[in-house]
Amino acid sequence: MDETPLGRIMAGIYIHIPFCYSRCSYCGFFSTTELSQRSIYVDAVLKEYQLRTDYLPKGEPVRTLYIGGGTPSQLTSSDLARLLRALPVAEAEEVTMEANPSDMTEAKLRAWQQMGVNRLSIGVQSFDDGMLAFLNRRHGSKQAKKVIRLAQDLGYTNISIDLMYSLPYQTMKRWEADIETALSFGVQHISTYCLSYEQGTPLWRLREKGVIRETDEDLANEMYACLCQRLKEAGYEHYEVSNFALPGYESKHNSSYWDGTPYLGLGAGAHSFDGKSRQWNAENLHKYLRDIMNGKVPFRRERLTATQQYNEHVMLGLRTCQGIAATDELVRKAQPYLSTGKLRIADGRIIASMEGINILNTIITDLMRE
């Protein structure tokens, strides 16, 4: 594989599409319902790309493109086509679009396919209509199932679905039913999210008022264990704490985040990494549009010290099934966890076991440098 001037493989491009038709009750991500700005926003993203072409090594092919949000499926097909035509992604190995089931029609799925989209990440979250309504998702389970089937019938061969657990009112039985429904489709990839209560969200307010209770930790751990077990039995590789893939279908784009490969992030709120520093664009639609149109990218940057780079490597590496190289320093610090089976060493690498994953944040903190 080619390497960048930094000596690393260039991951690719991430584009943030911050528009959502409505807001989900748990959502703490940067997004906006100002849909009237979508086309202008695409103009701005293209201009940002022009302003930042030097971020990508010259002549280097882009391996992956990931369009996330927000809700990228809120883009019109013509705006998406403009984006894809202008970016150097014709040879990309993986072009992912996040899709909200409510937006997806046969015509849109066909159009995306023709434009080169070869991986779908469908925001299913749950196949339980009660849960979906509680989360204020726009779609119902019938619609999600229909979109998955339609995409499969149209020849999409790399489909990921998102599932959420540890939701209020979600029993083990309801969670198991979600897992079984997901497995019945034989999709290539499943990403899971344990619900977190983000300050200021409707869900957070309900918890503050005592209307809902957070799922207790034992049940959340049990749900996670059940997920890992069932997906393993079904042939999925648990390649990252929250991600499972049939062999060969690990997300190339996200895998590069976890192994510290550089990438360029375009759009309001998008993050970039060049191997030595992280930078993030302003999470403000109007500031982003105004600044970009004035030829300036509104971003902040943090240069990572050697210690920060090391700690990131530990933090991201331990989340993956490949773990991190078992250096003397790490083996010494990891001793309490190695002796209790929360970490293990295989092929010279330290890897977290299931028990270790349940307390991963504590382990990571103990293995970091000060």
| Inter-residue long-range contacts of 344-349, CB under 8 Å, 24+ positions, other chains counted | 349/322, 349/323, 349/324, 349/325
Query: At its nearest, how many Å lie between ligand SF4 and the CB of residue 20?
Result: 3
> Phi, psi at residue 152, to the nearest 5°?
-65, -45
| Span 100-139, contacts to ligand SF4 by CB under 6 A | 100
Give residue 231's region: left, alpha or beta (phi > 0; psi -120 to 50): alpha
Of 10, 15, 24, 326, the one binding ligand SF4 by CB under 6 A: 24
Nearer to ligand SF4, 27 or 115 (CB): 27
Of 42, 44, 45, 70, the one binding ligand SF4 by CB under 6 A: 70
Query: At its nearest, how many Å lie between ligand SF4 and the CB of residue 306?
Result: 35
Asked whether position 71 contacts ligand SF4 by CB under 6 A, the answer is yes
Query: At its nearest, how many Å lie between ligand SF4 and the CB of residue 344?
Result: 35
- The residues near 192 (Cβ < 8 Å, ≥ 6 apart) are 162, 163, 164, 165, 224, 227, 242, 243, 244
Contact stretch for ligand SF4 (CB under 6 A) within 20-28, 221-229, 249-257, 321-329: 20-28
Contact stretch for ligand SF4 (CB under 6 A) within 26-34, 161-169, 178-186, 236-244: 26-34
Nearer to ligand SF4, 269 or 356 (CB): 269
Of 16, 31, 252, 267, the one binding ligand SF4 by CB under 6 A: 31
Distance CA 285, CA 307 (A): 33
146: helix, strand or coil: helix
Of 12, 69, 72, 262, the one binding ligand SF4 by CB under 6 A: 69
Containing 132, the helix (H) or strand (E) segment is helix 129-134
Contact stretch for ligand SF4 (CB under 6 A) within 16-24, 55-63, 219-227, 307-315: 16-24
Nearer to ligand SF4, 71 or 191 (CB): 71
Nearer to ligand SF4, 23 or 271 (CB): 23
Count other Cβ atoms within 10 Å, centred on residue 342.
20
| Span 195-234, contacts to ligand SF4 by CB under 6 A | none
Nearer to ligand SF4, 32 or 308 (CB): 32
Alpha carbon separation from 296 to 16, 270, 274, 290 (Å, rounded): 18, 15, 19, 9
Distance CA 16, CA 18 (A): 6
| Span 276-315, contacts to ligand SF4 by CB under 6 A | none
194: helix, strand or coil: strand
* Residue 192 DSSP code: E
Query: At its nearest, how many Å lie between ligand SF4 and the CB of residue 193?
Result: 10
* Residue 195 DSSP code: -
**3-state DSSP of 82-100:** HHHHHCCCCCCCEEEEEEC
Q: Report the sign of the C-alpha dihedral through residues 288, 290, 295, 298, in that order.
A: negative
Asked whether position 23 contacts ligand SF4 by CB under 6 A, the answer is yes
Dig out the tokens for 58 from the structure.
């010259």
CA-wise closest residue to 359 among 241, 203, 197? 241
Size of the site for ligand SF4 (CB under 6 A): 10
Asked whether position 194 contacts ligand SF4 by CB under 6 A, the answer is no
Nearer to ligand SF4, 132 or 159 (CB): 132
Query: At its nearest, how many Å lie between ligand SF4 and the CB of residue 228?
Result: 24
Query: At its nearest, how many Å lie between ligand SF4 and the CB of residue 77?
Result: 19
Single-letter amino acid code for the residue at 20: C
Contact stretch for ligand SF4 (CB under 6 A) within 68-76, 146-154, 226-234, 321-329: 68-76
Of 9, 27, 228, 368, the one binding ligand SF4 by CB under 6 A: 27
Query: At its nearest, how many Å lie between ligand SF4 and the CB of residue 195?
Result: 11
227-243-130 Cα angle (round to 5)? 55
Binding residues (CB under 6 A) for ligand SF4: these are 20, 23-24, 27, 29, 31, 69-71, 100
